[in-house]
Chain A
Amino acid sequence: MKGYDLVELALRNLRESVFRNSLTTVGISVGVASLVAMLSLGIGLQQLANRRLQKSGLFDTIRVTSRRDLRSLSREEGESGPDALESPPLDESARQKIALLPNVGEAYPEIRFVTELRFQDKPHLTVVSALPSSARTTDAFEGLEGRFFSSDAAAEAILEKSFAQRLLGSSRNATTNPAALLGQQLTLRYGERTAMPTPASATSSDNQPDMAYSVTAHYENLTIVGICDLDPDSMRGQARARVFLPEQLAEGLHVMDPSNLRDSTNMPGGSPTYPALEVRVASPRYIPTVESAIREMGFETFSLLDATKNLRQFFAVLDVFLGIFGSLALTVASIGITNTLVMAILERRREIGIMKAIGATDRDVRGLFFAEAGAMGGFGGGLGVVLGWALGHAINAGTNVYLKRQHFPPAQIWFVPWWLVASAIVFAILVSLVSGLYPASRAARLHPVEALRYE
């Protein structure tokens, strides 16, 4: 019998016992729904964790430092790249080279300094840090009050919430709502570093002029444009900053940094260097190759990639467990399919005999029962995916209501990818076909004379 005839006959047979077959199909769909809901929950949680981690910048960022740095003196023998004293300086030229490496999104200097801020004529000592425009996408700005910097060089500042509250506490403002600070002015007081020519006597042995700086006090007026809940730099820096400036503006300030003092003694004639660079790569999977390329250039690197491996392993195990629990209902449903088809054989024994008498082969009869099992699996799978999707939606909605009550931001903890939809339907069909194996072969083996004699 041709394939489409088999399917057509199977569907019409299913319609004949519509109630019983519908119940069996619903059984399968409940099984598939539980499987889809469980797995989509696992996938959703994994994606949520990945999204949070990616936004935090912890796993797609490499911190680059110079080997001339004191911390690098203890580095192990046998590491790639040149030795500390022969290693290149971490300056603008190095930054540009690193930024051009494959899969590197951006490389920007870590600018972080302790300085004085004046608000309503009151001084406040705090840590100031620069943020690149890419930081706009980090989760620290999900609950941002106000806005992000209008440009990379704008004279604007974003304050960390607790610092903003500190400013308000010491000010004449009656309110403690940090949003009241938006649009107000803040004065940054800092020491500007200016390169200056050195006396002729102060030249190094290789006739290169040594570096000299003059440091002068400067003021920069900043407009407060945003208040953020979390530290956007999170764990990346050594110190937690409270005030954030646009990267280009901060660079242009030429704030005197302790490392400049060191450079003045060990960096003959060179340009100013950076204490550290933050290198963001397109995806955490490129971290090892980019790290190795940077090391080859003679710099030290640090990343937190290994932590994601453990995380991925955890979610793989979680997915397996959720899949097993989800499959239990499908196993019960498969027993239902076998039962339904065995009942159908008993009821349709004479019909099978008639079909054999007019020319149906064993293969036709087996195929017919297989097609019926497969059709129930297909319908059950399709319905199950819809049910699972609805269940996932409900769990997500319920979780978000709970999160809202606990004052947490909403989260998407459930996700159904297209491959899960396709796999769930295929799996349901396969399970149904396996369940149909015994009934189908039993129907095919029926002796036509005995089947015709059956009343």
Chain B
Amino acid sequence: MRVLLVEDDVDLSRQLKAALSDAGYAVDHAPDGEEAWFLGDTEPYDVVVLDLGLPKIDGVSVLERWRREGKTTPVLILTARGAWSDKVAGFDAGADDYLTKPFHTEELLARLRALLRRSAGHAAATLTCGGLRLDPRAARATVNGEPLRLTSLEYRLLHYMMMHQGRVISRTELVEHLYDQDFDRDSNTIEVFVGRLRKKIGSDRIETVRGLGYRLSPLAGESDAA
């Protein structure tokens, strides 16, 4: 497993590099944003540990560049500020996990293991519906190639509707598949989630069939193979 460690503090880099090597990773180290971006762009890493406060180019910008160029390597960000706005900005840029300094080294190793487990086994059978694409193994969805940021309930709803696309699905059926337990089963719930899903995937993809339920279909002009 190759890991790219991006950290500007000399001591912390040395310690982390040692800890990662001990854990069996092949470690490359970049002390600033420019080198990090270059390495990440040219070498096939399995996971990246990225400090946000970097010289030359800051961490969020580096991450944004990688994602724009289509790199899907899982990235764990390190933040010293601990502010949620930094974490959210990191996730918007495409991060997969965060850790606030100071942290225990074991915690970092555990998080990296989890990230690698999650990213393993990509390229599974995906579901498509026009420009919508859903990867059930990674639990990720995209619309026209752009990643969708869905909560688990929204994802579950979209998954079910994509498995049954073109068919009218009743509210009762949806609510039964949305919640595995018996709470919150009121009719309003589905409307709330369908509303949010429409905002994220485009409102025309889900059609309301009065009195019956909802139907998901490709947009007019979109081919199913898109």
A and B found bound together: no
Instruction: List residues of chain A with CB under 8 Å of any chain B CB.
Output: none
- B contacts, CB < 8 Å to A: none
